[in-house]
Structure 1
């Protein structure tokens, strides 16, 4: 599957055209390599690094989606490998 179509199907982009721009700008990494072609092929087991507005998300593709379905369906197609979305740890209290 093409990477631009995948990003749109997985709901990381609101349109396929925006996904194409995102890839063409060189912001996406596929298995550690910078991708600049919208036609780059992705397959199950690939690791993507996606720079989102507030953080960087690292995902592993578990299955390729057949359509752009609901968010829950899209989230079942990948596994998040980083903890960037996790709640930050509480800061320890220092007695003075």
Structure 2
């Protein structure tokens, strides 16, 4: 492998998209990462200028590789390794807003149910009707 390319799992870990390299490898193998629109294996090399689509839980990142790193550094250095597209930033912001609205529409109860309420909940959920 030349110095102009780095394994995708190492790059994702160095760019701080995933906490561990093993998790990055697992996500790439699971199809959550695409390079230039193609599904990739963990050993696939990424180069400057490649476009990556990274699905992390409920968030979708679409980034262009601007730098390469094999070792994990500080967060400020990691942010210089990629440039996120404006459409990706906007889509993530709208998804975050929708999640906040959804959470606000179903507020958490003020307190935990007491013993009588728990028994009623259990009776209700275990009905065989």
TM-score, normalising length: structure 2: 0.62
**Normalized per residue, which structure has more helix?**
2
Q: Extract unaligned runs of 5+ from structure 1.
A: 89-96
- Indicate the structure (1 or 2) with the bigger Cα radius of gyration: 2
Aligned with residue 61 of structure 1, among 55, 62, 65: 65
Q: Which runs of 4+ in 1 moved over 4 A?
A: none
Structure 1 residue matching 2:22: 3-state secondary structure: helix
Name the CA distance, whole Å, in 2 between partners of 1:53 and 1:71: 20
Aligned with residue 17 of structure 2, among 8, 12, 22: 12
Q: RMSD between aligned alpha carbons?
A: 1.5
Give the equivalent residue in structure 2 for 1:49.
53
Q: Extract unaligned runs of 5+ from structure 2.
A: 1-5, 98-129
Deviations 1:26-69 (A, max 9, x none): 1111001111x110010000000001223200000011125211
Q: What is the aligned length?
A: 87
- Pair 1:25–1:66, CA change in 2 (3 A): closer
Aligned with residue 83 of structure 2, among 79, 83, 86: 79
TM-score, normalising length: structure 1: 0.82
Higher RCO (CA 8 Å, separation ≥ 6 residues): 1
Name the CA distance, whole Å, in 2 between partners of 1:5 and 1:75: 15
